[in-house]
């Protein structure tokens, strides 16, 4: 168990020699608990349609300039086939929050992917109703990703442009998802305007308390077409106690997450790789054991514009570059579904 003070101590540390200790500690805990396999999850961004107006996300419903798309069932299954052919153990079906996605349609796609390729299926489609989640589970979905973004209710309401929430809707829903039999994944963005050291320390404590099976953390990347992105880019000075949205700080949070959640599956996220040319490597060397290669075909991938992407880090997206990075670290691609390890027996 990590204490609040220990977490805060590491979050505030700047000395690279001391920080080296943190990376090594996290790497050792990763190796002892989840081994050297790097699980590859094929990411299929099947639709950018969204009814939410989140102030941080470039796909928010108020962005009328963005061309919206939804892949066909054949296109989605073709992406899953690529994942299968490349030897990945699972796919992640991700979209904006669109209550009109027909659950029958999505359920049938899940069933087809499971039947044809035997892959584990993870969903990341926002805050669905319990009956929808039950249906998708029944059709074969195994896991669900729903980042709570920040556990601080005040900051959450601010970035979501929501008011008068009595409790955090996503933290509640994660618990429901577990009860429905899903493996559950949460996570946060790092460096949101107004996010403080103690908020992030509490987020990491919550990862531990919820006993998350998967934890994804990535830097907040301001999108100039969003309300929050404009505020961020125009701000002249730092708010006191504000945490940076840097690769170094993200690396600290990944390492601390590994110490807090030794058995969780933790990705080196695309957002990290997007702000740092060796983002995947530093993630994998500091506690991460998962990469989610993007399988979304162009022109759709460019339309899935959560945040602006920097084209100079092309390597982040290439299957073979990812394999090379894994080999360079003397690690190996995972085999099988790569679900959460559980030992001693039971949770």
- Contact residues toward ligand 5AD (CB under 6 A) are 56-57, 147, 149, 189, 218, 220-221, 223, 271, 306-307
Nearer to ligand 5AD, 112 or 310 (CB): 310
d(CA 245, CA 158): 18
Structure tokens belonging to residue 94: 């991700």
Ramachandran angles phi, psi of 235, nearest 5°: -60, 135
Ramachandran angles phi, psi of 8, nearest 5°: -60, -40
Structure tokens belonging to residue 166: 């009595």
Nearer to ligand 5AD, 290 or 323 (CB): 290
CB of 219 to ligand 5AD, least distance (A): 6
Nearer to ligand 5AD, 92 or 259 (CB): 92
Nearer to ligand 5AD, 225 or 262 (CB): 225
Nearer to ligand 5AD, 90 or 323 (CB): 90
CB of 59 to ligand 5AD, least distance (A): 8
- How many other C-beta atoms lie within 10 A of the C-beta of residue 18? 11
d(CA 111, CA 243): 43
d(CA 322, CA 300): 21
Nearer to ligand 5AD, 141 or 221 (CB): 221
b/e burial code for range 292-322 (CB count within 10 A of at least 16 → b): bbbbbeeebbebbbbbebeeebebbbeeeeb
d(CA 298, CA 278): 24
d(CA 322, CA 123): 23
CB of 342 to ligand 5AD, least distance (A): 26
Structure tokens belonging to residue 308: 């602006």
Sign, Cα dihedral of 190, 196, 197, 200: negative
Nearer to ligand 5AD, 221 or 288 (CB): 221
CB of 41 to ligand 5AD, least distance (A): 13
Q: Which residue blocks in the chain are alpha helix, DSSP H?
A: 4-12, 16-34, 73-85, 103-117, 130-138, 153-160, 169-179, 197-210, 227-234, 247-260, 270-275, 279-284, 300-303, 319-328
Helix (H, G, I), strand (E, B) or coil at 151: coil
CB of 35 to ligand 5AD, least distance (A): 27
CB of 24 to ligand 5AD, least distance (A): 28
CB of 32 to ligand 5AD, least distance (A): 29
CB of 17 to ligand 5AD, least distance (A): 30
Nearer to ligand 5AD, 27 or 149 (CB): 149
């Amino acid at each position: 168990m990590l204490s609040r003070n220990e977490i805060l101590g590491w979050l505030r540390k700047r000395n690279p020699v001391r920080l080296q200790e943190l990376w090594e500690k996290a790497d050792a805990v990763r190796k002892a608990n989840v081994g050297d396999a790097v699980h590859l999850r094929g990411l299929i961004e099947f639709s950018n349609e969204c009814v939410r107006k989140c102030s941080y996300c470039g796909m928010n419903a108020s962005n009328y300039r963005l061309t919206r798309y939804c892949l066909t069932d054949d296109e989605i299954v073709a992406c899953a086939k690529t994942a299968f052919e490349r030897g990945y153990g699972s796919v992640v079906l991700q979209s904006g929050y669109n209550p009109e996605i027909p659950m029958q349609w999505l359920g049938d796609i899940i069933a087809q992917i499971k039947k044809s390729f035997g892959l584990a299926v993870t969903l990341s489609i926002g805050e669905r109703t319990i009956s929808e989640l039950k249906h998708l589970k029944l059709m074969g979905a195994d896991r669900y990703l729903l980042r709570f973004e920040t556990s601080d209710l005040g900051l959450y309401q601010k970035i979501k442009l929501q008011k008068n929430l009595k409790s955090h809707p996503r933290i509640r829903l994660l618990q429901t998802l577990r009860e429905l039999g899903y493996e559950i994944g949460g996570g946060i963005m790092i460096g949101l305007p107004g996010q403080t050291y103690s908020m992030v320390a509490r987020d990491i404590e919550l990862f531990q308390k919820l006993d998350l099976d998967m934890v994804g953390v990535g830097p907040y990347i301001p999108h100039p077409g969003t309300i929050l992105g404009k505020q961020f880019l125009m701000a002249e000075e730092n708010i006191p106690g504000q945490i940076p949205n840097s690769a170094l700080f993200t690396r600290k949070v990944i390492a601390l997450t590994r110490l807090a959640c030794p058995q969780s599956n933790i990705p080196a996220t695309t957002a990290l790789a997007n702000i740092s040319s060796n983002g995947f490597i530093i993630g994998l060397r500091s506690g991460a054991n998962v990469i989610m290669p993007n399988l979304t075909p162009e022109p759709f991938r460019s339309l899935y514009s959560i945040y602006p992407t920097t084209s100079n880090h092309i390597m982040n997206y290439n299957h073979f570059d990812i394999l090379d990075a894994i080999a360079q670290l003397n690690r190996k691609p995972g085999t099988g579904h790569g679900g959460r390890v559980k030992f001693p027996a039971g949770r």
